[in-house]
Amino acid sequence: MSPQLFLPSVVMIRHAQSEWNREGRFTGWADPGLTEVGEAEAVRAAGQLRERGFQFDKAYTSRLARARATAQIVLDEIGAQGVPLLADWRLNERHYGALQGEDKTSMAQRVGEDQVWRWRRGYLDRPPALRVDDPRHPRHDPKWSDIADADLPNGENLAATRARVMGFWTDEIVPQLRQGKRLLIASHGNTLRALIMGLHGMTVDEVESFEIPTGVPIVYVFSARGEPLGWHYLKSSGEAQHAA
């Protein structure tokens, strides 16, 4: 019987494959949609959840299309169309600054693979910042007009991403866990890395070597007080699960 029947739980999922994942580009707050492969990944993830009887009281997503689409596909496929789906910018991907839209392979040829790895995985490493007058800066996009300019990033390291996602967690998720709610969160690779680092107490070295696959559910179980007890990837029957 599934653990969420006894204890509050959160299923986290990194959005399924996006167009820029396929193209190998730094994405950040850019807003490409899912590929057909990504849509199939989301359907498969929903099947894994449905197979084990997971249901949700509420779902959260970032305000980026690839995460919203992943969450909606999961809810539709498990027959949970009536579950509230709420978007919060604090679940957005780490902002990649001036790297946003750049090809990772071409960038590695220009600056070296080690530098690209540091930008992608480093905890304190920041990407080159976007200038305020760069049209890619979020202050020029109407979809972020409700967010204070001081909160709009021009490039983030993982530490900054962790700060905002942990703020979201404290404000939105902990109170609901204490009410025994079953929650779904669809977000992004770096955002979920930062969140799990905060919940699980990962070291900097551990989080820098930690990568989350697209479209694979993570089941996190909590105490009645909202304290994290452990997590594992949810795999299809017969596949190995990696627990923490």
Residues acting as catalytic residues: 15, 93
The length of the chain in residues reads 244
**Strand ranges of the sheet holding 218-222, from the earlier edge strand across to the other edge:** 85-87, 58-61, 182-187, 9-14, 218-222, 228-233
DSSP labels, 24-75: TB--TT----B-HHHHHHHHHHHHHHHHTT---SEEEE-SSHHHHHHHHHHH
Encoding tokens for residue 168? 């979201």
With residue 185 as reference, give the H or E element that holds it: strand 182-187
Closest CA to 130 of 160, 107, 153, 158: 153
